[in-house]
Amino acid sequence: MAAKVRKAVFPVAGQGTRFLPATKVVPKEMLPIVDKPLIQYAVEEAKEAGIEEFIFVDSRGKTMIANHFDYNPELEDALFAKGKHELLKKVQESTLPSGLAAYTRQEKALGLGHAIWCARKFIANEPFAVLLPDDLFFYTPNCLKQLVDEYERTGGYLLAVHDIPVEDTNKYGVLKIAKDDGLTVTAEILVEKPKPEEAPSNVAVAGRYILSPEIFEALEKKAIGSGGEIQLTDAITSSLGKVTCTGLRFKGKRFDCGTMEGWLEANLYVGLQREDSRDLLTAYLEKLGFSRENKDSDF
């Protein structure tokens, strides 16, 4: 049986240029989906999957993320004094207890692989999860929990994967498949953002990983890959002689909130799921001409 996955790394050093000017000061990971920032969704997913320690790889100007998960006694006292207990509960749920969160700096934007390497001292010799906050998932059990459960069987490297249109392969890390049983695939190599005509398959990684500590030996080489960056996909491929790599086709909805389209879709989806906003949002959309009865509507 594989070792328990207790730690998770959250790469949050990106600049979020697609959302400028909103992200000129506010980290993209703090952009809200309705009333909760993206990074909190990822942390809650990790908690539900049994993660005990949370490592954030940030960059200059990202202190707002640490502040968000910190204890805020003035705010809590004010909410308590005003009898706003539901809001107080939400604030308390967003706090990470002392000693469970760690922050390390990625000084230069050298790629996802480099960001993971920056967390090496906090991981030591254990398997660990990686959650990209741009990717937002909805399902029970959640995406990372699905991986954690499957990891007991596979060990090695385990990635959340999904089948994508071939024309989109240049947006993802793509697997060359050695074996496919429908639910899981065994990867022969990974290719970062291949052109559609050169893609080895249409099975792509979807922002959730469980990695064994062997990945740091590969990342230590700091090999430059696609886009002039140190790519995690390259490091995984270079160590496949020592470690197996399995892809798990996750269940549930996924939104790419690193794009304006995905972020807007996620806000609509969450707003329509929540009891406190569903009726208001439905009424407004119907006022605009979108309705469940309108066959020409995507609503």
Instruction: Kindly indicate the confidence band of residue 65, based on its pLDDT and cuts at 50, 70 and 90.
Output: very high
Whether the CB-CB separation of 112 and 209 falls below 8 Å is answered with: no
Q: Is residue 175 part of a domain?
A: yes
pLDDT at 272: 94
Residue 117 falls in which region: left (phi positive, over 0), alpha (psi -120 to 50) or beta: alpha
Domain annotation covers residue 291: no
CATH number where 130 lies: 3.90.550.10
Count other C-beta atoms under 10 Å from residue 4's C-beta: 13
Does some domain include residue 297?
no
In a domain, 266, yes or no: no
131 is a domain residue: yes
Of 213, 153, 225, 165, the residue nearest 189 (C-alpha): 225
Average pLDDT over the chain, rounded to whole? 92
Token pair in block for residue 299: 């609503």
To which H or E segment does residue 67 belong? helix 63-68
Position 293 pLDDT exceeds 80: no
Q: Extract the tokens encoding 176.
A: 């060359």
Residue 109: band (very low, low, confident or very high) from pLDDT cuts 50, 70, 90:
confident
For residue 228, give its domain range: 7-258
In a domain, 293, yes or no: no
Residue 265: inside a domain, yes or no? no
201 in a structural domain: yes
**How many separate domains does the chain show?**
1
